[in-house]
């Protein structure tokens, strides 16, 4: 399995990363190396092994952990304070909303 230009572009799209020409060459080498390394998994025949995938050791401790669909913060004031705290961290904000670039430009790109 070799990392081609097409595959690298596909991975960049999936990962939402943009690499320069030089970075692409480096990335191709690195990924090829990593892929070559993990080829060793082909050495292990797993058809004979039980096919179920389960959380080893955890069976006795918990499966399907659920909780009630209620907010755990007790005080409404705490909720309000947290909200402001979160919005203060926003890269770009307008009142109580997060501002992002227009999505409509993408349609034009296509």
**How far apart are CB 107 and another protein at their closest, in Å?**
9
Residues 6+ apart with CB under 8 A from 8: 19, 24, 27, 28, 31
CB 8 within 8 A of CB 31: yes
Is 110 a binder of another protein (CB under 8 A)? no
DSSP string, 65-91: ----SS-----HHHHHHHHHHHHHT-S
Q: Which of residues 35-54 bind another protein (CB under 8 A)?
A: 35, 37-38, 40-41, 43-44, 46, 49-54
**How far apart are CB 28 and another protein at their closest, in Å?**
10
- The C-alpha atoms of residue 30 and residue 26 are separated, in whole angstroms, by 6
Residues near another protein, by CB under 8 A: 7, 10-12, 14-19, 23, 26-27, 30-31, 33-35, 37-38, 40-41, 43-44, 46, 49-54, 56-58, 61-62, 65, 67, 72, 82, 85-86, 89-92, 98, 100-103, 105-106, 109
């Amino acid at each position: 399995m070799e990392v081609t230009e097409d595959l690298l572009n596909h991975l960049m799209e999936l990962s939402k990363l943009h690499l320069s020409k030089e970075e692409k060459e480096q990335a191709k080498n690195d990924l090829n190396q990593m892929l070559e390394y993990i080829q060793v998994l082909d050495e292990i025949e797993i058809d004979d092994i039980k096919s179920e995938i389960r959380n080893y050791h955890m069976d006795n401790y918990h499966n399907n952990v659920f909780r009630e669909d209620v907010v755990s913060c007790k005080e409404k004031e705490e909720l309000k304070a947290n909200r402001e705290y979160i919005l203060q961290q926003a890269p770009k904000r307008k009142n109580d909303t997060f501002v992002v670039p227009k999505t409509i430009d993408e349609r034009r790109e296509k």
